[in-house]
Chains A and B, each alone.
Chain A
Amino acid sequence: MTTPTPAVSGRRLTPSRLRISDVFSVGSSGLRTRVTRTALSALGITIGIAAMVGVLGISESSRADLQAQIAALGTNLLTVTPSGGFGGGDGALPADAVATVSRVGPVERVADVVQLESAVLRNDLVNENETGGVTAMAADLDLLATLNGEVAVGSWLNEATAQTPTVVLGAVTAERLGIVEVSQGAMILIGGEWFTVIGVLEAFPLAADLDRGALIGKPIAEELFESDLSSSALYLRTNPDQIDAVRAVLGTTVDPQSPDEVSISRPSELLEAQDATESAFTNLFLGLGAVSLLVGGVGIANVMVIAVIERRNEIGLRRAMGATRAHIRHQFLTEALLLSALGGLAGVALGVAVTAGYAGTQGWDVVVPPLAMVGGLVSALVIGAIAGLYPAMRAARMAPTEALRAA
């Protein structure tokens, strides 16, 4: 290597360098001049990310709604039924069940219902066999409060109406009987006696059996139908901290002789289980989103390979202007990253929009987990980096003279 003599040596050379602020504009120049292609090639990533964010958003919104519902209904409700199940044969709880259970310390409220054999009919023209699925029940006045239930129209039973032939219908019963109004003094037949409908209840999410009930007061039930009212189901609220302890002793408390014949459930657990079944669908859609993301990545790699071939002359020119191999590599890598970031951002926006749209139709609050949004963007960028790597290396490896050859 010959050293230049200082006398003739020219300027001091500084290394080729591309300012950080320029890396971005150089990397985006290819995209800005090919808007349609940019949009189309980012579409795969957009769809993939939108599917993933949307599915996660929808399932999270639905879960949040369910949690809110459960919280509103309370998780401290326990249901006690005879082992045969609600309405399962002649199984009934011991007559003094309500009294013994209410003596358990942490139990805050207890209410029971008694299933009656009497048929419920809209009027005397309807055949008894045609009103299947609707059951007459005698209910505690405390029932509604214990279950956090709501009255849809009319009113709940009180001390006075519990003694008279008046009835409050469960949500399903009202629908089956075609009763939406109570002000007109609608009447139905229970066990051959006319009862005035004074109220219709909202559905009980924690006690769906009651939705099919026609609820009358215990005094009138005793008077008209059965003298011995033994509970068919017990609903009780406990101190939330001691629910497990209560649950453990409830069997022997209700029926010391045969605790096995008593079944105890916690309805909020059933609602929570609903969550788990939904996650199977979530996983399916996440998988589809991942496949779409992969296809989107391949699309970006494809577009970038084409861009490198098409823009050979530009690469040669930039090399002639002093770009190093690394500068060329960074340019195309940046371009791929920008492409995937654009796709990812659009995908997140679309996913949030889909979530908002669906949640709107369901009346849910919109909840999109931040992790899904950040994760969506990050995975788009990772895919973009992988997709851009090979084309960028190829562009950087190209010899300047080769790149400058007329196309």
Chain B
Amino acid sequence: MSPRKALELTDAVKEYAGTPPVRALDGVSLTIEQGELAAIVGPSGSGKSTMLHVMGTLDRPTSGRVSIDGQEVSSLGDRKLSAVRSQLIGFVFQQFFLIDGMTALDNVANGLLYAGVPKRTRRYSAAEALVSVGLGHRLTHQPNQLSGGERQRVAIARAIVHKPAIVLADEPTGNLDSTSSEAILELIHQLHRAGSTIVVITHDVDVANALPRQIAVRDGRIEHDVRRSDQPISRTATVGHDSVVTT
């Protein structure tokens, strides 16, 4: 049995209205297999965040298709899309976005809130997730009592607490010093080894090079898509413009 596709973009286009309109995604096709750890790398303004938003159903593509965990989502309404996000996707943001005045445990437990999980179960899973990111000793701390690296760990715990099909991280080390960045990258590797599917968006080539797969983006197109391993990249759609596959 072929591995299930965690995420698939097919000829995804995203155009922002304006004069002239901005084509932030220009026909991107891309598959993320289950259990993969991939970097999307590119300079500022290349369309990385736009791609993450489209992949994460936070925004709709102007045209093209998006499917997550085998489910086509581009035509779903707000309620169904929210359901997809509540159960299939975990987000990590550069600014952490922890809710102030709420303990680390409750921030992480919020990751299960909109899936309708009862409070006790939420807290139990949250404690587990915090332990798995190495913050078992910080359960009752508030965000303002945590270091930047610790905050990002809490945010990562929140992104994995509901065991999503895919974790999307937008510049997860963007606000951190180099030591904390390395620790966060190590955590990402560790989660990957444990089976998580993770896409990391970064403008930092060094960060990208540390990951098994690099998808380089420029001007809304995939410039190249490289895997460090020797296996060929399995692509279901090859419509992408300028997509170069090198080894």
In the bound complex, CA of A33 to CA of B56 (Å): 30
Stretch from B69-77, B216-224, B227-235 that touches the partner: B69-77
Structural contact, B82 and A313, CB atoms closer than 8 A:
no
Which of the listed residues B4, B56, B70, B119 has the most CB atoms from chain A within 10 Å of its own CB?
B70
Q: Mark B49-78, 1 if CB is under 8 A from A, else 0.
A: 000010010110000010111111001001
Contact with A33, one of B53, B71, B100 (Cβ below 8 angstroms): B100
Residue B102 is within 8 A (CB to CB) of chain A in the complex: yes
Stretch from A92-100, A156-164, A319-327 that touches the partner: A319-327
Structural contact, B86 and A16, CB atoms closer than 8 A:
yes
Which of the listed residues B75, B85, B119, B158 has the most CB atoms from chain A within 10 Å of its own CB?
B85
Q: Given A22-B119, A313-B95, A401-B59, do A15 and B71 touch, yes or no (CB 8 Å)?
A: no
Structural contact, A318 and B114, CB atoms closer than 8 A:
yes
Note all chain A residues with C-beta closer than 8 A to B99.
Answer: 29, 314, 317
Structural contact, A11 and B85, CB atoms closer than 8 A:
no
Residue B130 is within 8 A (CB to CB) of chain A in the complex: no
8 Å CB contacts to B: which residues of A265-324? 313-314, 316-324
Structural contact, B70 and A322, CB atoms closer than 8 A:
no
Output the nearest chain A residue to B58 by Cβ-Cβ distance: A400
Output the nearest chain B residue to A407 by Cβ-Cβ distance: B95
Structural contact, B72 and A33, CB atoms closer than 8 A:
no
Which of the listed residues B68, B88, B95, B97 has the most CB atoms from chain A within 10 Å of its own CB?
B97
For residue A34, give the distance in angstroms from its CB to the closest CB of chain B. Answer: 8
Note all chain A residues with C-beta closer than 8 A to B4.
Answer: 8, 10
Residue B87 is within 8 A (CB to CB) of chain A in the complex: yes
Structural contact, A401 and B72, CB atoms closer than 8 A:
no
Structural contact, B72 and A322, CB atoms closer than 8 A:
no
Residue A32 is within 8 A (CB to CB) of chain B in the complex: yes
In the bound complex, CA of A26 to CA of B118 (Å): 14
In the bound complex, CA of A318 to CA of B86 (Å): 9
Residue B111 is within 8 A (CB to CB) of chain A in the complex: yes
Structural contact, A4 and B71, CB atoms closer than 8 A:
yes
Q: Mark B87-128, 1 if CB is under 8 A from A, else 0.
A: 111010111010111100000001101111011000000000
Note all chain B residues with C-beta closer than 8 A to A68.
Answer: none
What is the size category of the interface that chain B forms with chain A?
35 or more
In the bound complex, CA of A3 to CA of B71 (Å): 8
Structural contact, A325 and B78, CB atoms closer than 8 A:
yes
Residue A184 is within 8 A (CB to CB) of chain B in the complex: no
Structural contact, A321 and B111, CB atoms closer than 8 A:
yes
Structural contact, A320 and B58, CB atoms closer than 8 A:
yes
Contact with B71, one of A9, A324, A401, A406 (Cβ below 8 angstroms): A9
In the bound complex, CA of A383 to CA of B128 (Å): 43
Structural contact, B116 and A320, CB atoms closer than 8 A:
no
Structural contact, B78 and A324, CB atoms closer than 8 A:
yes
Q: Given A13-B84, A316-B97, A324-B79, do A8 and B114 touch, yes or no (CB 8 Å)?
A: no
Output the nearest chain A residue to B68 by Cβ-Cβ distance: A10
Structural contact, A320 and B56, CB atoms closer than 8 A:
yes
Note all chain B residues with C-beta closer than 8 A to A404.
Answer: 58, 93, 97
Note all chain B residues with C-beta closer than 8 A to A1.
Answer: 72, 75
Note all chain B residues with C-beta closer than 8 A to A374.
Answer: none
Residue B17 is within 8 A (CB to CB) of chain A in the complex: no
Structural contact, B110 and A321, CB atoms closer than 8 A:
yes
Structural contact, A10 and B69, CB atoms closer than 8 A:
yes
Output the nearest chain A residue to B10 by Cβ-Cβ distance: A2
Output the nearest chain A residue to B168 by Cβ-Cβ distance: A320
Note all chain A residues with C-beta closer than 8 A to B82.
Answer: 16, 319, 322-324, 327
Q: Mark B1-33, 1 if CB is under 8 A from A, else 0.
A: 110110000000000000000000000000000
Residue B83 is within 8 A (CB to CB) of chain A in the complex: yes
Residue B199 is within 8 A (CB to CB) of chain A in the complex: no
Q: Given A22-B119, A323-B82, A400-B59, do A9 and B114 touch, yes or no (CB 8 Å)?
A: no
Contact with A16, one of B5, B70, B83, B101 (Cβ below 8 angstroms): B83
Output the nearest chain A residue to B1 by Cβ-Cβ distance: A7
Q: Given A4-B70, A322-B87, do A19 and B118 touch, yes or no (CB 8 Å)?
A: yes
Residues of chain B touching chain A, judged by Cβ–Cβ distance below 8 Å, are 1-2, 4-5, 53, 56, 58-59, 65, 67-72, 75, 78-80, 82-89, 91, 93-95, 97, 99-102, 110-111, 113-116, 118-119, 158, 165
Residues of chain A touching chain B, judged by Cβ–Cβ distance below 8 Å, are 1-5, 7-11, 13-19, 21-22, 26, 29, 32-33, 313-314, 316-327, 399-401, 404, 406
Could you give 18 example pairs across A and B, Cβ below 8 Å? A1-B72, A10-B4, A10-B70, A10-B71, A13-B80, A17-B114, A18-B113, A22-B113, A29-B102, A33-B101, A319-B82, A320-B56, A320-B58, A321-B110, A323-B82, A323-B113, A324-B82, A327-B114
Q: Given contact pairs A16-B114, A33-B102, enumerate 9 new A-B contacts (beta carbons under 8 Å).
A: A1-B72, A13-B87, A16-B116, A22-B113, A33-B100, A318-B110, A327-B82, A404-B58, A406-B94
